Amino acid sequence: MSERVNVAVIGAGRIGRLHAGHLAHRIRGARLAAVTDIRLEASRQCAADLGVSKVFEDYRRVLDDAQVQAVVICSSTDTHASIIKDAAQAGKQIFCEKPIALDLKQIDQALAAVTAAGVKLQVGFNRRFDPNFRRIRELVREGAIGEPHLLRIASRDPEPPPMEYVRVSGGIFLDMMIHDFDMARYVVGDEVQELYALGGVRIDPEIGRAGDVDTAVVTLRFAGGCFGTIDNSRQAVYGYDQRVEVFGSKGMVTTENNTPNRTRLATDAAVREDLPLRFFMERYTESYLNEMNAFIQCIREDKDPPVTGADARVPVVMGKAARLSCEQNRPVALSEVS
């Protein structure tokens, strides 16, 4: 296919504006054709900034538009499953932000609609497209560290999200750690069978009153014998902390945080470097570009997307298992939840 793929963005909030900007200017083979948001003002502003003329309040308008080939769903999580079903029935290719839903039945119904329509679906687990994490996966796959024995993921936000967000987020395991559950499967290249979660409120009592925790550790048991730990905090005072390590029979592979520059100052007092990039918009820019390039390329070359429906479902199962484990203070097999 040589002509550009016409894409509509549904939901012009934080991540929708980011993807819209990339589609308008930085993704080869794509054209941003329309923007929709139930807050018409948000879609108008986004479209005006990017020189797009088609702006709608109701996403169904882009599903009726024969010129639109693909949709990028960036609306709030509770809308994803039904928009996927409608878009699939309309024959559109679909990119959907994570997670598809917090409810497994809704996920399964959305995936069934995609299969029935024979359209593509790629889910926004962008960290798979980060060059550091991708390199770890490749090295593990090539056998560079031998048999994986231990995985360690540290994933800490610089500050908690607003309370309105916390209340509808589905909790730390489904909102925040879901990316790390995906990363665990991705870098080790194996499935988790069982996990055990500890969670507590160490930062903001208001988060506890909303029924959530702000600090959590999860241990993982993989089918092939590897063990893993993931830790999350909603507040790392030094910035966005994103590190991964896989240790195996022949060695170890690890990544450090990305900083705004590579300088290191050494004096007789200390060795100093800059703080990590502040948050996900800055830290993961390249991964957002790479994932959208991959999606558009799959449409143009009629290939299967690199993040599948199964990839979308399993981290939600893990998030639910972690919540149950934390509530009941016991190890939980994923089979109990799935």
Ligand X SMILES: NC(=O)c1ccc[n+]([C@@H]2O[C@H](COP(=O)([O-])OP(=O)(O)OC[C@H]3O[C@@H](n4cnc5c(N)ncnc54)[C@H](O)[C@@H]3O)[C@@H](O)[C@H]2O)c1
The contact set with ligand X (CB under 6 A) reads 10-16, 36-39, 42, 59, 74-77, 79, 97-98, 124, 126, 280
Name the residue among 48, 92, 45, 43 with its Cα closest to residue 72.
Answer: 92
CB of 59 to ligand X, least distance (A): 5
Output the smallest distance, CB 166 to ligand X, in A.
13
- Which residue number, 39 or 209, has a Cβ lying nearer to ligand X? 39
Which residue of the chain is nearest ligand X when measured via CB? Answer: 13
Closer to ligand X by Cβ: residue 97 or 214: 97
CA distance 92 to 76: 19
CB of residue 232 vs ligand X: minimum separation in angstroms?
A: 15
Please identify, using beta-carbon distances, which residue of 16 and 315 lies nearer to ligand X: 16
The size of the chain, in residues, is: 338
Q: Tell the smallest beta-carbon distance from residue 330 to ligand X (Å).
A: 28
- 282 phi and psi angles, rounded to 5 deg: -80, -45
In which residue are the tokens 């939600």 written? Answer: 316
Q: Cβ(212)–Cβ(171) under 8 Å?
A: yes
Least distance from C-beta 244 to ligand X, angstroms?
Answer: 16
| Nearest C-alpha neighbor of 188 from the set 138, 238, 236, 232 | 138
Q: Where are the beta strands (DSSP E) in 21-111?
A: 30-36, 54-56, 70-73, 93-96
Name the residue nearer to ligand X (CB basis): 226 or 244: 244
User: Considering beta carbons, is residue 38 or 198 the nearer one to ligand X?
Assistant: 38
User: Which of residues 41 and 336 has its CB atom nearest to ligand X in the complex?
Assistant: 41
Q: How far apart are the first and last CA of the chain?
A: 39
Between 226 and 290, CB nearer to ligand X? 290
Nearer to ligand X, 169 or 219 (CB): 169
Buried (b) or exposed (e) across 250-276, using 16+ Cβ within 10 A?
A: eeebebebbeeeeeeeeeeeeeeeeeb
Beta strands in 169-234 (DSSP E): 192-200, 215-222, 227-233
- Tell me how far apart the alpha carbons of residues 319 and 180 are, in angstroms, rounded to a whole number: 10
CB distance 219 to 150 below 8 Å: no
Residues 6+ apart with CB under 8 A from 251: 144, 145, 146
Least distance between ligand X and beta carbon 216 (Å)? 18
By C-alpha distance, which of 281, 168, 157, 280 is closest to 214?
157
Q: How far is the CB of 14 from ligand X (least distance, A)?
A: 4
CB of 107 to ligand X, least distance (A): 13
